[in-house]
Chains A and B, each alone.
Chain A
């Protein structure tokens, strides 16, 4: 056996240049993404309301104020009610619809047809929604906002569930059926426990959507008692006497920092699944 020593050309200079270019680009990108977030945290901790970075003694006074004077917990409670309700309803309907679509072998065309109507953003619907819900007495109720938030991407979630169910082997359910299991029991004790990852992902997406939504509560929930955080933070930090800046940035930033914590936590929990979802989206 003959050993051949191969010398790989290293291109020392080019490699160095390559690394330098990489680090310069990385630092620029990091600054690009980070600067606004740094501003937000800094403004929340800052004693003055000037909207630029100014590292002075950080105080937690704004957070204390948000809790004591601006009633953070009240808005938080409203946000939580709306988001949890819409998550539960979305998940429930998506499982039901997805399972039925899968079992009835309904062609994708039907669900994609429905999906197109959800392609239209909420703003194009909001005017008829307002009048429609006013006549149903759903304006200024949690239910009205929850309905709008749950209905908006229901076909998409149903389709996702259906695709997930299709990956199960058919024998699984047939075996249970032969053992005398009822259909409802198969759904609850065999299919659902197996599809928990997908259910969790849909729940995370629905919660995030409901938590961050601004337009539906802006139009439908005009009473302060019902407002969720997304609208409430602007109402609480409004400066009606000010000429140019409509909001007090210290209060707004303190609210904002607390407001983004749940989506971030949710993301940390669900990002493994999201990668898979991005792949589904591309194929």
Chain B
């Protein structure tokens, strides 16, 4: 039982307030139990499966046994796993830290420039904004189809090259390395920059609304161009936002499944070393080695939980 005190004239009125704490605990318990049963339980269950040699189908699906750390030892000896995790890191670093971040910042700047200029420029940038957001909210499957149509053997880019008199290249089957990274991975990176740069653009724009407009007006009188505006005004003012954006973009790309799965054509013949996500899916659902796949998932989970803690720290 708790009491609230109100001041009324010269008197203090003491009022009994029912807190109904039990009602609220029940309200909280329903979503919490739902979450625990269907999400938190899965984490120890995944770790448990990773200690077995379970298969998805066949005799080992019923009669499996504990193998201890065997799956993890297998991971340490698996060259495909190393390739997959290396490609994941390259993909996430180049997409998140370089491509999406800078392109998004630049687009935010461009749109902001149009917005403060007004008139026809504002209309042009509104159109850009709408298109960028459309690209972002589009389901990843559809964006994947579009990107496959761009980079595929008979895709738009090859069509363009043929028109210029250069023979087409089968971009999505090219494993030669350029700068130490397979060309096919470069194509995936380009595709993901196209899909994901709108998020950092939206964040940049939201943050820019907080920057006093007078700064830009003053710059405009001094005849500053878009690029100078970006490097000398926007970037220094957005400094605090950058670490958060970097982590969000990195985690978004690190185990990207749907988008890459579609671009690579899906199915059993997919390039399984593209990404840690694709590798674990192929191992578990195409090669049917559930135990081994679960071990890879546990490692992915651990990486993500570290990144999650880091993002909370950065966020403050």
Contact = CB atoms under 8 A, between A and B. Distances in A.
Nearest to A212: B139
A190 interface: no
Contacts of B17: 174, 177
B33 to A, nearest CB: 10
Interface string A246-269: 110100110010011001100100
B226 A208 contact: no
Size range of the chain B interface in the assembly: 35 or more
Contacts of B128: 26, 29-30, 33
B265 to A, nearest CB: 5
A267 B23 CA distance: 36
Interface in A109-141: 112, 114-121, 123-132
Interface of B: prevailing SS: helix
Interface stretch (B72-80, B153-161, B180-188): B153-161
Contacts of A14: 223, 225
A172 interface: no
Size range of the chain A interface in the assembly: 35 or more
Nearest to A262: B139
A128 B39 CA distance: 10
A55 interface: no
A189 B153 CA distance: 59
A252 B31 CA distance: 38
B192 interface: no
Nearest to A208: B137
A123 B140 CA distance: 15
17 contacts: A14-B223, A37-B146, A51-B149, A51-B156, A120-B301, A120-B305, A121-B304, A124-B298, A130-B284, A131-B54, A151-B38, A152-B39, A177-B18, A214-B261, A256-B142, A282-B206, A282-B241
Interface of A: 8, 11, 14-15, 17-18, 21-23, 25-26, 29-30, 32-37, 39-40, 43, 50-53, 93-94, 96-97, 99-101, 103-104, 106, 112, 114-121, 123-132, 147-148, 151-152, 154-155, 158, 174, 177-178, 183-184, 208, 211-212, 214-215, 219, 230, 233-234, 244-247, 249, 252-253, 256, 259-260, 263-264, 267, 271, 274-275, 278-279, 281-282
Which A-B residue pairs are the 10 nearest by beta carbons?
Answer: A212-B139, A100-B28, A128-B46, A119-B308, A36-B146, A116-B308, A97-B31, A11-B223, A278-B206, A100-B27
Given A11-B223, A15-B223, 16 more contacts: A8-B221, A26-B124, A29-B107, A30-B131, A35-B150, A51-B155, A52-B159, A93-B31, A97-B31, A99-B24, A116-B309, A124-B297, A132-B42, A183-B20, A183-B24, A264-B134
